[in-house]
Amino acid sequence: MSSNGNENIESVLKETRTFPPPATFSANAHISSEEQYEAMWNRAKDDPSGFWGEMADNLDWFRRWDTVLEGDMPDTKWFQGGKINASYNCIDRHLTSSRRNKAAIIWEGEPGDTRVLRYQDLHREVCKFANVLKNLGVQTGDRVTLYMPMIPELAIAMLACSRIGAVHSIIFGGFSADAVADRNNDARARVVVTADGGWRRGKEVPLKAAVDASLDKSPTVEKVVVVRRTGGNVDMVPDRDFWWHDLMEGVSTECDAVQLDSEHPLFVLYTSGSTGKPKGVMHTTAGYLLGTTMTSRWVFDLKEEDTYWCTADIGWITGHSYICYGPLSNGSTMVMYEGAPNWPDEGRFWEIIEKYRVSIFYTAPTAIRAFIKWGDQWPEKYDLSSLRLLGSVGEPINPEAWMWYHRVIGQERCPIVDTWWQTETGGIMISPLPGVTATKPGSCCRPLPGVVPDIVSPDGQSLGANTGGLLVMRQPWPSMLRTLWGDDERFRATYFSDIEGCYFAGDGARRDEDGYIWVMGRVDDVINVSGHRLSTMEVESCLVAHPGVAEAAVVGFPHEIKGEGICCFVTLKTGDGDDDLKKELVQHVRSSIGALATPDQVRFATALPKTRSGKIMRRLLRDIAAGRESTQDTTTLEDLSILAKLREDDE
């Protein structure tokens, strides 16, 4: 476990404040009492099939399942025999009531343009685009890459894919051409949907140009569909590239949702692992949809009249589960925003909340830390009285940021749900229930119904209160990943080989005397930059690809805004290196992985600290990057003098 994880425990142990839910909130909540929560949790633990079978009545099925749950982790199958469609559940089933005229998506572009899509508008657009995909030759089971800005067409394209059983693979727009090519190749994608560009801080992010560059290296892609968003210049290759608006013209507005098996793949989403190659996390239809539908209702307490806003990008799992599938399956109204929180100024988010009377707001600690830095004068300029519930996701929220969120944004009125989950878990696992849980700043509190976590030692023994250990799941849950695309062996090795019979999340955590869980972060070498999980190995292999670099070790260090910053220790093939080379390396990483991987520090070293067996001692480097005295055991270090040298290089 990393030394900084242990320090986190020290600091959070001092946290003793608790915040019970307001009585009026509890009175109206979907889950409104401790007794109700405990009854649900125990039922789900003791009789998962009974519990989830009942919950599954909240979805619309073409054919009812034969069995709720078959097999043991990791080979579990949910709702075998059932036929279902996610797009149908998110749209069609709302068209038989007054919900058909309800806003599904209230969209705001960064330049200030807006669009509202009611459920029946969404139905029309999704049907049309599903027909477009079919006309391009896309069949059930084919993979389609979506590399798009945060515009309604992204949600439309996702739901069009799931409507015909095509598997979407969404790539966050901040990734580079090479990253797109790698993911296209791994998924063997046949079609890419993109846009000319998207708006970010008043500048155009040129997406189509990146797709063009990626296609030289990803030969499986046959067709490209391009949304005109910015109006920027793009090169269109005849017979390969098509404008979205051209293809949509004259296409039928009806397209039956395909009746899919419960375990039909819904999407792949690539996430960084502890070795270089990204992992294609695969989710399937019924279990994922059920998990995100129920957790949206329980955790966000979604009601017919709410206006819900999740600020994540759909390119991450948060956007898949809590912008698209979960809220739409519940027939909710959601806000979707294209751009940056500080454009045209630092008040943009609060302006949007005031403008649309947002009632539920879900964001990330990295954003909250930025808001704090920008100052209270920004939220204070706007009317935030419509808010009734706040959420946080992506990394542990430090108690000070929690208190600020509670005081300045929630005005001491709104419960905060600190939701722990992962790309792999599909939906929220550990979180307060806003009408039930007395929250503690910095803790994600207790497991949701159907989630049976434990904290164990490396040999799998359950640990008692207030002892840090590995966070595992002892029972399967419907929205868990089913495999890693094309690499089932890695799936088993990564999640199911460390602790016998359990899913290992890769996080360290402890449970306090009240059974509340405090997550301490990753125990491996993945770093969390601004809520984005990045593999240090990926950055290292990129650095080593530069002709001047001999060896590289990349570690995270605590960063005020981003959560973790990226520090690169580099040894050169020749020479000592200078500021120009530092800049060149920063640029090199940026252009090969994407802006989100931009290194914060580059330090040249004559050698890296290694064990006798040649393993780089990352824990030591973490201490150096953070400017801490090291308490690590250095007895296995090969050459102690290296340490002193690295510290001398402190800037």
If binding is defined by CB under 6 A, does position 12 make contact with ligand WT7? no
Q: How far is the CB of 314 from ligand WT7 (least distance, A)?
A: 12
Which window, 433-441, 518-526, 573-581, 608-616, contacts ligand WT7 (CB under 6 A)? Answer: 518-526
Half-sphere exposure of 123 (CA within 13 A, CB side): 22
Binding-site member from 155, 499, 519, 617 for ligand WT7 (CB under 6 A): 519
Q: Which amino acid is at 71?
A: G
Backbone angles phi, psi at 318, to 5 degrees: -55, -40
If binding is defined by CB under 6 A, does position 505 make contact with ligand WT7? yes
CB 96 within 8 A of CB 88: no
If binding is defined by CB under 6 A, does position 318 make contact with ligand WT7? yes
Binding-site member from 82, 347, 432, 521 for ligand WT7 (CB under 6 A): 521
Instruction: Report the C-alpha gap between 41 and 32 in whole angstroms.
Output: 14
Instruction: Report the C-alpha gap between 37 and 102 in whole angstroms.
Output: 31
Question: In sequence order, what are the residues at sequence separation of 6 or more whose Cβ sits closer than 8 angstroms to the Cβ of residue 184?
Answer: 145, 192, 214, 218, 220, 221
Instruction: Report the C-alpha gap between 169 and 56 in whole angstroms.
Output: 26
| Nearest residue to ligand WT7, scored by beta-carbon proximity | 423
Structure tokens at 583: 């800049």
481, exposed or middle or buried, with CB in 10 Å at 0-12, 13-18, 19+?
Answer: buried
Site for ligand WT7 in 259-278 (CB under 6 A): 271
If binding is defined by CB under 6 A, does position 105 make contact with ligand WT7? no
Q: How far is the CB of 422 from ligand WT7 (least distance, A)?
A: 4
Which window, 194-202, 207-215, 350-358, 500-508, contacts ligand WT7 (CB under 6 A)? Answer: 500-508
If binding is defined by CB under 6 A, does position 418 make contact with ligand WT7? yes
Which window, 65-73, 501-509, 584-592, 619-627, contacts ligand WT7 (CB under 6 A)? Answer: 501-509
Residue 79 CA to its chain's centroid (Å) = 26
Q: How far is the CB of 13 from ligand WT7 (least distance, A)?
A: 16
CB 252 within 8 A of CB 127: yes
Q: Is 216 helix (H, G, I), strand (E, B) or coil?
A: coil
Q: How far is the CB of 403 from ligand WT7 (least distance, A)?
A: 16
Q: How far is the CB of 274 from ligand WT7 (least distance, A)?
A: 12
Judged by beta carbon, residue 165 or residue 394, the one nearer ligand WT7 is 394
Size of residue set near ligand WT7 by CB under 6 A: 23
Backbone angles phi, psi at 378, to 5 degrees: -70, -60
C-alpha dihedral, 121 to 127 to 130 to 132, nearest 10°: -90
Judged by beta carbon, residue 76 or residue 363, the one nearer ligand WT7 is 363
If binding is defined by CB under 6 A, does position 155 make contact with ligand WT7? no
If binding is defined by CB under 6 A, does position 525 make contact with ligand WT7? no
Q: How far is the CB of 418 from ligand WT7 (least distance, A)?
A: 5
Q: What DSSP designation does 473 have? A: E
Binding-site member from 99, 279, 369, 533 for ligand WT7 (CB under 6 A): 533
Instruction: Report the C-alpha gap between 374 and 366 in whole angstroms.
Output: 13
If binding is defined by CB under 6 A, does position 437 make contact with ligand WT7? no
Binding-site member from 230, 329, 422, 479 for ligand WT7 (CB under 6 A): 422
Q: How far is the CB of 77 from ligand WT7 (least distance, A)?
A: 23
If binding is defined by CB under 6 A, does position 433 make contact with ligand WT7? no
Which window, 499-507, 535-543, 607-615, 619-627, contacts ligand WT7 (CB under 6 A)? Answer: 499-507
DSSP characters over 454-471: EEE-TT-PBP-TT--EEE
If binding is defined by CB under 6 A, does position 507 make contact with ligand WT7? yes
If binding is defined by CB under 6 A, does position 330 make contact with ligand WT7? no
Instruction: Report the C-alpha gap between 27 and 32 in whole angstroms.
Output: 6
Question: In sequence order, what are the residues at sequence separation of 6 or more whose Cβ sits closer than 8 angstroms to the Cβ of residue 158?
Answer: 146, 168, 170, 267, 314, 320, 324
Backbone angles phi, psi at 85, to 5 degrees: -145, 130
CA angle centred on 11, ends 9 and 12, rounded to 5°: 65
Site for ligand WT7 in 204-223 (CB under 6 A): none
Judged by beta carbon, residue 261 or residue 507, the one nearer ligand WT7 is 507
Structure tokens at 504: 């290992």
Binding-site member from 155, 317, 470, 499 for ligand WT7 (CB under 6 A): 317
If binding is defined by CB under 6 A, does position 363 make contact with ligand WT7? no
If binding is defined by CB under 6 A, does position 419 make contact with ligand WT7? yes
Binding-site member from 85, 284, 332, 423 for ligand WT7 (CB under 6 A): 423
Chain contacts with ligand WT7 (rule: CB under 6 A): 271, 316-318, 393-396, 418-423, 444, 505-507, 519, 521-522, 528, 533
